[in-house]
Each structure stands twice: as structure tokens, then as C-alpha cells.
Structure 1
């Protein structure tokens, strides 16, 4: 669907495999770093290899209570 807000931009990206870890609460750099390290450890232990930089995803409106907020750390991986 076409966005009805000019600040929203759609772009196509190439298909890729992504490892993800989900957590709740307010976003903070320390919370992000903690979960990023946990995901990096899982990737290594599972025999995968990161193929790009970690990115964060936040899904909720600013007024959402902290315990209902959903955040993710996403890391592209190579499957050998």
C-alpha cells in the first residue's frame, strides 16, 4: 500500500537471512547492546556467520507502556 504520510518512505531491499532477538521495555543503548551481544553469541554458537551490521527495530507508539513495548535486534547472517 502507498503510505499516506510523505515522511514514510518505502524501499526495496535484497532478500536476506536475518537472525533476530526480541525483548520488551524502553529502548536504551545499554539494553540494545546487551541483546545484541546475546544474539551475536547465539549466531556464533549456532554455526552461522554475521554478514552485516546489527540494526534495531522498535514497533510501538511513544505512549505504549514499557511492559508492552516490543524491540528487536536484527543481524544479517550467512547460512553455510
Structure 2
């Protein structure tokens, strides 16, 4: 996964890290994973690194049928039809 794609998605989903909707900055959720609107809070990741890894895995779920190299930290990965 290209870093530019993840960066662009983060900018779009978080409003350039301003957040303000269903996900808070403390959740380290750069792809707004699990937030479905109407106040449904998205998933929380304990560290920035986990949030970034979950975002990359989430993008990979949509972009590829290849297996993950590391253990899955994206709780929504299995919901994507691959």
C-alpha cells in the first residue's frame, strides 16, 4: 500500500486530523474504521502505530486479495468481500 494513498485517506476521513464527528483524536483511528454515522463511535486503537497499521490493513482489504503479512489488527478486515 502506497503511503500517499493512506495519507490522502486520513486527510479526507479526519478532516486533516481535525476530527470532530464520530471519532476522536485519542482513538488513533485514521481511517475512521467502524464509525457508521449517527453518533456510532468508531474503533479505538491503543497506539498510533496500531491505528496506522489498521488503516493500511483496511485499505489492503479493499485493494488486494493477498494475505496479511502480520497479524490482523483491523477489526473490520473480515467484513470486506475480497
Q: TM-score, normalised by structure 2?
A: 0.28
Higher relative contact order (CA 8 A, sep 6+): 1
Greater share of strand = 1
